[in-house]
Amino acid sequence: MDTKFSSAIHMLILISEAETPMSSEKIAESVGTNPSYIRKIAGLLKKAGIIESSQGRSGFALNLSADELTLYQIFCAVEGTSDIHLFDIHRNPNDQCVVGRHIQPTLTELFGELEAKALSELKQKTLKTCMDIMRDRINKEETK
């Protein structure tokens, strides 16, 4: 199970909302994991130019505003690929068989269409989209 993407979104919301610097330890506490894991994800986000930080100095800073940062960028940063890979394809089909020889490219093409659509959805949604949904939920909770 790969939860880097959801952890990264959680982390970025914290960074974006917090007024005082959030250390990897405080972030880990909210995400429910350990500081090392947070720093691992931070490294990926930093490499992609999404956040800024420096050794010894507490906290992380967003390089983009929340409505400029797409979920697509976050996804690519933490997964290290621009492929969503919706479904895995079995690895050893038999080349001696017509179906076996063509199944991989056929499914790659077919699944690729779906994946492209999912990617374009991710490009249209931003960190702000996410924060807005959350804010609505928080408001609903409060008015109960």
Amino acid identity of residue 133, one-letter, is I
User: Taking CB under 8 A as the rule, does residue 31 contact a second copy?
Assistant: yes
Mark 99-118 with x for binding to a second copy (rule: CB under 8 A) and - for no binding.
Answer: xx-xx-xxx-xx--xx--xx
> Is residue 61 at the binding interface for a second copy, with CB under 8 A as the rule?
no
Q: How far apart are CA 79 and CA 115, in angstroms?
A: 15
The 10 Å Cβ neighbour count of residue 13 is 17
Q: Considering Cα of 103, then 104, then 106, then 107, what sign does the dihedral take? A: positive
Q: Token pair for residue 96?
A: 């001696």
CB proximity list for 90: less than 8 A, separation 6 or greater: none
Choose the contact partner of 40 out of a second copy, DNA, none; CB within 5 to 8 A by kind: DNA
Under the binding rule (CB under 8 A), the answer on residue 21 touching a second copy is: no
Contacts with DNA, residue ranges (CB under 7 A): 1-4, 7, 23-25, 32-37, 39-40, 42-43, 46, 53-60, 88, 90, 92
Compare residues 58 and 65 and give the one whose CB is closer to DNA: 58
Q: State the CB neighbour count (10 A cutoff) for residue 73.
A: 19
Nearer to a second copy by Cβ, of 5 and 64: the residue is 5
Nearest residue (CB) to a second copy, 54 versus 94: 94
